[in-house]
Structure 1
Amino acid sequence: MELRHLKYLIAVAETGSVTLAAEKRLHTSQPSLSRQIRDLEDKVGVELLRRSARGVELTDAGKAFLDHARLALSQVDAAVEAARRAAQPAKKRFALGFLTGQEMNWLPKAMRVLSSELLNIDVTVSSDYSPDLADGLARGRLDLAFMRAEPGFDLEYRVVGQEPLVVLMPSDHRLAKRKAVHPKELVGEPYVAMANKARVLRGAVDAYLEREGVVLTPTQGVDNPAMVMSLVASTRGVALIPNYVENLLPWSVVSRPLVGDAPKIDLVVGYSRFNASPTLKLFLSKMQDGL
């Protein structure tokens, strides 16, 4: 079994199509990709993919294999990144990642924690969606990230804060006059939901609506806050999202708290326990005194 077999299976699983995976992701022919998948199944000894009316789907065995395949590839990437860093020891790099919008709240605090090391390291900063931050940590591209606790990654998490859900709406919406909004008042409004890629946040929002006995049918599904705000403004819709996005609101969109016990979403610091960076170790030790 070779690494390319794992890449091929992941591509097919994520696209739901052998043809699309071959043409768009792997730049190979569909028959060649089909042969590679059959070779992989022969090596594993079980069927990993099954064709259906909706395309190609993973079997139960395929779903179990996929998680380990992703982990194996991420560990290979991490090993490559560690080797490259070791070959350039002159000045160490420390890569910080932030859930888009959170850098406004947490970057100054993170830099204070690192203040004693700033002369000895190059700090790089990036912002991204939480699942992509988790992938960056697992592959060694990031040392530490402020994010959601994403399942399916072999990472460590420490909770650093909690954020209540709020309602986003156009600034001239009828509910904008309210000091707080009950989710039942959102029924019938165009509803901009988080896409399944943002599964931690989407899961928390869906669980909250179910608990409140409210059914909101998504008219749009997106996975980043900038697009959420754009769609709220352009479709005159509403959205449920953690209150950190209030740092990013344009004039055309406002937020209102939810009535009652609004759920809170954990914000965590994520990192890989396999990361031997002394700067990471220092950061985590200083975190115990509070950020």
Structure 2
Amino acid sequence: MDVHLRELRYFVAVAEELNFTRAAGDRLFVSQPTLSKQIRQLERDLRVTLFDRDPRGITLTPAGVALLPLARQILQSWSGARRAVTEAASAQTLTVGFQTRIGRGLIPSVTARMEQRLPGWRLLFRQVTWADPTAGLATGEVDVAVVWLPLPAGDKLAWNVVAREERWVALPAAHRLAHRSVIPFDELVHEPFIALPASAGVLRDYWLATDQRTTPPRVAAEVTTADETFEAVSSGLGVVLVSAGNAEIYQRADVVCRPVSGLSPSELAVAWRRDDHREAVRVFTEACVRCLCTLPVT
């Protein structure tokens, strides 16, 4: 069976950290069970044991020591190949990650700005699930991303806030609070909530408003996309906090959205990797700020 680049990337992270928790949370932004599963799959594919595991920690086996420089070389070669292909293409492409529909008039304005400043460049949009709160930036899947804050801690990503929107709640149409024009968060704390996956980390906590609670939230279901979220709400599984803009974008007859009082506004940001100094990245991020920062603060 062929080994995947993701498995090699995960192996290198664990080998360099010698700690599954740090590698999962600080390097890869995935859950520890997901990381452990991928490492076990790599060991099965290679038919070797790569790490010695005991209560005191982990160490590389001789097979792991032999694989580490080769894995680094393969990943570096693939990165070089991707760069060469991109540079050879007649039309340069900037890949934009997102998790919910962007809307808000952003894309037409940014596209026009890109065409004016960088003729020949085009935008490619890629939807990434909530399992990666960086919307593909951490893995190199995208060049820039339109994301909801907060992002995972660390110094590898930079961002600018481009819009602030009130947090609303999405309820099943028949919910007992659906008739209210504004709902205090205190009246929602005991409701079952739809949550982002655990790998979303601080972003999951933010949309559960854990900082406003005195007891842990009741999580009725976990979802990885916006469409899954609204399907779960319409099915009566629970309620979910959403931004005011997304409440408008995702309107549907079987879901009611209402403003929530007692919560700080959500923040939409354009994000990029700090070490990516390409002009196209700068032009895109500046265009996002120019477009969306003119919106009123809610």
Aligned residue for 2:5? Answer: none
The whole-number CA distance in structure 1 between the counterparts of 2:268 and 2:289 is 16
Does structure 1 conserve the Cα–Cα contact (< 8 Å) formed by 2:134 and 2:152?
no
Q: 1:277 to 1:89 in 2, by over 3 A?
A: farther
Which amino acid letter does the alignment assign opposite residue 265 of structure 2? K
Aligned residue for 2:271? Answer: 270
- Which runs of structure 2 are paired with 1:134-145 in the superposition (5 Å)? 134=134, 136-145=136-145
Q: How far did residue 270 of structure 1 move? A: 0.8
SS at match of 1:134: coil
Q: 1:285 to 1:195 in 2, by over 3 A?
A: closer
| TM-score, L = length of structure 2 | 0.69
Superposed CA deviations along residues 100-152 of structure 1, whole A, max 9, x for unmatched, are 22245422232132131574123212222366373633444322211134225
- Residue 155 of structure 1 pairs with residue 157 of structure 2: yes
Q: 1:119 to 1:194 in 2, by over 3 A?
A: same
Moved more, 263-272 or 152-161: 152-161
Aligned residue for 1:58? Answer: none
- Residue 168 of structure 1 pairs with residue 162 of structure 2: no
Q: 1:28 to 1:104 in 2, by over 3 A?
A: farther
SS at match of 1:38: strand
Which amino acid letter does the alignment assign opposite residue 122 of structure 1? R
The whole-number CA distance in structure 1 between the counterparts of 2:270 and 2:86 is 22
Unaligned runs of 5+ in 1: 51-71
Q: 1:179 to 1:209 in 2, by over 3 A?
A: farther
Aligned residue for 2:52? Answer: 38
Aligned residue for 1:239? Answer: 240
| TM-score, L = length of structure 1 | 0.71
Which amino acid letter does the alignment assign opposite residue 16 of structure 1? P
- Residue 180 of structure 1 pairs with residue 190 of structure 2: no
RMSD between aligned residues: 3.8
Which amino acid letter does the alignment assign opposite residue 161 of structure 1? A
Which amino acid letter does the alignment assign opposite residue 235 of structure 1? G
Q: 1:147 to 1:218 in 2, by over 3 A?
A: same
Q: How far did residue 276 of structure 1 move? A: 4.1
Instruction: State the percentage of identical aligned residues.
Output: 20
SS at match of 2:199: coil
SS at match of 1:178: coil
Aligned residue for 1:224? Answer: 225
Q: How far did residue 165 of structure 1 move? A: 1.6
The whole-number CA distance in structure 2 between the counterparts of 1:18 and 1:176 is 41
Which residue, 42, 65, 68 being the options, matches 1:26? 42
Q: 1:158 to 1:237 in 2, by over 3 A?
A: same
The whole-number CA distance in structure 1 between the counterparts of 2:84 and 2:56 is 36
Aligned residue for 1:199? Answer: 201
Q: How far did residue 170 of structure 1 move? A: 0.9
Moved more, 113-122 or 265-274: 113-122
- Residue 6 of structure 1 pairs with residue 12 of structure 2: yes
Does structure 1 conserve the Cα–Cα contact (< 8 Å) formed by 2:109 and 2:287?
no
Q: Greater helix percent: which structure?
A: 1
The whole-number CA distance in structure 2 between the counterparts of 1:265 and 1:129 is 19
The aligned length equals 257
Q: How far did residue 175 of structure 1 move? A: 0.8
